[in-house]
Amino acid sequence: MTLSVAVSGASGYAGGEILRLLAAHPDVDIRTVTAHSNAGDKLIYHQPHLRSLAHLTLQPTTPDVLAGHDIVFLALPHGQSGQYTEALAETPLVIDAGADHRLTSSAAWDAFYGGDFHDPWTYGVPELIVGPGSGAAGAKQRERLVGASRIAAPGCNASTVALSLVPGVAAGVIDSSDIVSVLAVGPSGAGKSLKTNLLASEILGTANPYAVGGTHRHVPEIQQALAAAGAADPRISFTPVLVPMARGILATSTAPIVEGVTDAEIRAAWEQAYGDETFVQLLPEGHFPRTADVLGANTALLGLAIDRAANRVVVVAAVDNLVKGTAGAAVQSMNIALGLPEATGLTVNGVAP
């Protein structure tokens, strides 16, 4: 049976990427696309690469337009998805690509976002280890997604760092109270709205740190994922740096090694966590990923190093922020919730050069 789909925020980057993936999905029919200021325009005017969807016209983002579908994707800025929750109560599956339903703590929401707090939905990162004491081969978030009717797709930076470190936390080989993550990120993660700091003349030829000193909104989301894996009091110094590439995240995360843990035990934690995963892959020892390797793919590639001089584990992760970081995670989670093959409509292969 083909399932009807509506995608809100369809003229933006996240909405456009959701559409690109769904266009190749054999089990869905994209019937409705919506926008705010761009309502009334042909979708193709704003997403000219989506040639197979040229027949669609952007409709207003209203509850009436979104209702009546089997699946609704909300690709809206933070603070805007929650208003549709009650109106879509009869919709079998709703997936929010924004932040409104990610956090379990209202205090964290107030501190980093503000505005109305909305109930948390099932978190859409299937490969994350969950359950304190479960170990690196323990239960996965995937199990909680089976049959879910409300899914919160992740923040791209947050899921990248969480996937990098959760195996070490679950296995008890790293100290989660002293994590440092520095990320090189492309500007598409900030959305499609016109902002001076994202103009080509402002970012070409330079690297620009932002949200320095623990102020980035993905910090509590990372801490939440680490706590779910067993971290008692996860603390992270998180510094994103805007770099001149349209897509991609290269996250370098480090944490102290727990006393007495061997190099073999450290690497085994990541191997056990991801050895059977399709979309999260640990590279061979001595190899590290590039953002170019995951362009267009629903793949997170990880490289692991053990720095005994500093007594720290170093994990370098590369993802396409619009695919595995957002839209790919949403579609992957959709597949699991509906009982479809998890990889349907998704690819591990990037685009090169």
The one-letter code for the residue type at 158 is A
Can you tell me the distance from the alpha carbon of 192 to that of 182, in angstroms, rounded to the nearest whole number? 24
Structure tokens at 239: 């510094």
Residue 156 annotated to the active site: yes
Catalytic residue among 50, 76, 156, 318: 156
CA dihedral 337, 340, 344, 346 (to 10 degrees): 20
Q: CB count, 10 Å around CB of 57?
A: 15
Structure tokens at 290: 């590039």
Q: CB count, 10 Å around CB of 245?
A: 17
* 82 Cβ contact list (under 8 Å, min separation 6): 100, 101, 116, 118
What DSSP designation does 64 have? Answer: H
CA–CA distances in Å: residue 11 to residues 154, 236, 287: 20, 34, 38
Can you tell me the distance from the alpha carbon of 336 to that of 97, in angstroms, rounded to the nearest whole number? 16
Q: Collapsing DSSP states into helix, strand and coil, what is residue 302?
A: strand
Residue 53: φ, ψ to 5° = -110, 20
Residue with tokens 């995670």: 329
Residue 238: φ, ψ to 5° = -120, 120
The one-letter code for the residue type at 246 is A
Return the active site residues: 156
